[in-house]
Amino acid sequence: MSVIQVVGRGTWGTVVACSIKGMGETLEDSLQLSGQSIQDLYAVKIMKKQDLIEDNMMKSAIIERQVLQALNHPLLVKLHFAFQDETKLFMGMDYVPGGDLFFHLKRFGAFNERDSKFYAIEIAYALQHLHDLGIVYRDMKPENVILDADGHIKIVDFGLAKLGVVDPFEGTDSTCGTSYYMAPEVINGQCYGQAVDWWGLGVLLFELLTGNPPWYTRDQTQKVLFFKVTKTALTCPPFVTGPCRDFLTKLLEKDPARRLQAGAVFAHPWTGGLTLAQLRDGKLRPPVVPCPNYAGQTAAKFARGGAVEGGGGGGGGRAKGG
């Protein structure tokens, strides 16, 4: 296996694009040398054991592998292999070349309702599958939704996911997540369940439509943000249509018992009853279809920070990858 380029860095791991055979100076060179395609690449997440131990995150890394092993769905990244050496953990997953929604959101500023609907429904089907497996995701945000070569989504990074949560309203009570996307019951330290993921979908949909999460203001403290999330009513911009506004309001319901859940999400007039098969068959066209060499451009952008330690074996700095 040859490490081609760094494609992402985060808090607890580095993600590198790897080829089973052939290596050139760039991702495009490697594919030409080996006669391979994007489908022949893997995204390998590399985590230093010492970093995980120092930050009390080893259990999270083990759970992430367990979650990934349970997944086999077109809208969720797939684990192909996992191994370790004396100092690092390695997880080889689908290489997803299209960039994340955060990147595309910054490119376009915001998406129209039709395009936002495409992403929202695909994410909803991915969440439904996780919930059917008793997995609560807990980390919904645009950085964790990546586009494949055809423009369909794949959810990545399961470091905060929890197994064995089968109820919408109970199952765990740990405080985790990204501040802007945390549900009120998480902020308040209450017991919660799968309903937190539907709140996260609502926050992400609002951000796709407007460019910012709800209750966002520049330079506000976390204390102020949490007060707004738990106490202040949602305000939608006037350009949001009535059906979409109703959908958002019901997803961003502060009381989880009154919040939309999977069945109601797909039955809502705004989603139009679209099935996953219809989405995959082009009933709604993907808003963004990455160009063939987009993956190499993206990888080169991330690689400017430096190479992965350890040459072909790959290791890296502290990063949260996915």
User: H or E stretch including 147?
Assistant: strand 145-147
Amino acid identity for residue 164 in this structure? G
Provide the pairing of β-strand 79-84 with 88-94. Answer: antiparallel
Other CB atoms within a 10 A radius of the CB of residue 18 amount to 23
How far is it, in rounded angstroms, from Cα 130 to Cα 51? 28
Active site residue 55: no
Q: Looking at the chain, how many residues does it have? A: 322
CB hemisphere CA count around 114 (13 angstroms) = 6
Contact 9, 3 (CB under 8 A): no
Give me the catalytic one of 139, 148, 157, 197.
139
Distance (Å, whole) CA 71 – CA 210: 32
Q: In 3D, which of 183, 222, 225, 220 has the Cα closest to residue 204?
A: 183
Task: Compute the distance between CA of residue 82 and CA of residue 101 in angstroms, rounded to an integer.
Answer: 26
Q: How far apart are CA 123 and CA 256, in angstroms?
A: 19
Active site residues: 139
